C-alpha cells in the first residue's frame, strides 16, 4: 500500500520558497565573492569582468587551446563564474518574485477569512436586530389590544402578561379590599 501523501498547505509552499530564496542568495553571494577573488588574483589583475565580455567569440575559439595551461585555470574559472552569475541572478529574481506572490496570496487568504468572519458577524447582528424589532412590534401590538379590551395587565420580560384586573374593578368600591386581601395572601391570585 502506498503511504498517504502529505497535503501541502499554502503556508508550506511559502516556507519552502523562502528557504530556497535564502539558499539562492547565499549561492549568489558566494559566486560574487569568487568572482571578486579571481579578479584580485595576480594573474588576473590586468583584466576586469568587462574585458571578458568584450572578447570576440571567434578570437576566443582560436585562443581556446592555449587556455589549457595551468596559469590560465583562473581564466577558465572566471569565465565559468561570469557565465553562471547572470543565470543565478535571474533565478534569484524569479525566486524573490515567487516568494512575494506567495506572501501576497497568504495576505489575500487572511483578508478573505476576515471578511467572511466580518460578514457572518454582521449577519448575526442583523438577525438579532430583526428579532428584537419583531419582539418590540409584537409587544406593542399586544399592549394595544389589551388596552383596548379594558383589562389591566403587567408585562413580563418574556412578553407575557399578568392580568391585574379590569378598569371597572379598579374603580369599584370593593377593588381596594380585594387588592389588599390578595397582597396579604387571604385570597389566592386567581380568585
Helices and strands, counts by H and E, the chain: 6, 2
Residue (of 4, 87, 72) closest to 38 by Cα position: 72
- What φ, ψ does residue 26 adopt, rounded to 5°? -65, -40
| Number of other residues whose CB lies within 10 A of the CB of residue 65 | 8
In eight-state DSSP terms, residue 68 is G
For the chain, list residues with pLDDT below 50: 1-5, 45, 49, 56, 70, 191
Q: pLDDT tens digits, residue range 52-106?
A: 555 545 555 555 655 555 456 666 677 777 778 888 888 888 888 888 888 898 8
* This prediction's pTM: 0.44
pLDDT of residue 93: 87
pLDDT of residue 4: 42
Alpha-carbon span 19 to 77, nearest angstrom: 28
pLDDT of residue 182: 76
Q: Which triple of cell numbers denotes residue 59?
A: 578570437
pLDDT of residue 125: 95
Alpha-carbon span 175 to 110, nearest angstrom: 68
The answer to whether the beta carbons of residues 82 and 49 sit under 8 Å apart is: yes
pLDDT of residue 140: 82
Q: 587556455: which residue's cell?
A: 67
Alpha-carbon span 169 to 178, nearest angstrom: 9
Amino acid at each position: 500500500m502506498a503511504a498517504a501523501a502529505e497535503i501541502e498547505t499554502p503556508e508550506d509552499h511559502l516556507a519552502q520558497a523562502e528557504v530556497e530564496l535564502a539558499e539562492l542568495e547565499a549561492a549568489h553571494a558566494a559566486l560574487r565573492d569568487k568572482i571578486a577573488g579571481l579578479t584580485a588574483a595576480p594573474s588576473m589583475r590586468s583584466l576586469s569582468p568587462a574585458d571578458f565580455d568584450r572578447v570576440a567569440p571567434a578570437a576566443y575559439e582560436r585562443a581556446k587551446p592555449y587556455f589549457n595551461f595551468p596559469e590560465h585555470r583562473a581564466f577558465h574559472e572566471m569565465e565559468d563564474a561570469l557565465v553562471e552569475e547572470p543565470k543565478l541572478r535571474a533565478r534569484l529574481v524569479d525566486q524573490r518574485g515567487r516568494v512575494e506572490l506567495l506572501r501576497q496570496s497568504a495576505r489575500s487568504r487572511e483578508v478573505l477569512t476576515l471578511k467572511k468572519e466580518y460578514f457572518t458577524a454582521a449577519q448575526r447582528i442583523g438577525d438579532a436586530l430583526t428579532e428584537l424589532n419583531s419582539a418590540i412590534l409584537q409587544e406593542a401590538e399586544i399592549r394595544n389590544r389589551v388596552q383596548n379590551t379594558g383589562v389591566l395587565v403587567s408585562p413580563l420580560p418574556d412578553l407575557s402578561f399578568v392580568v391585574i384586573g379590569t378598569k371597572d374593578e379598579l374603580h369599584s368600591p370593593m377593588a381596594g379590599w380585594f387588592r389588599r386581601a390578595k397582597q396579604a395572601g387571604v385570597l389566592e391570585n386567581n380568585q
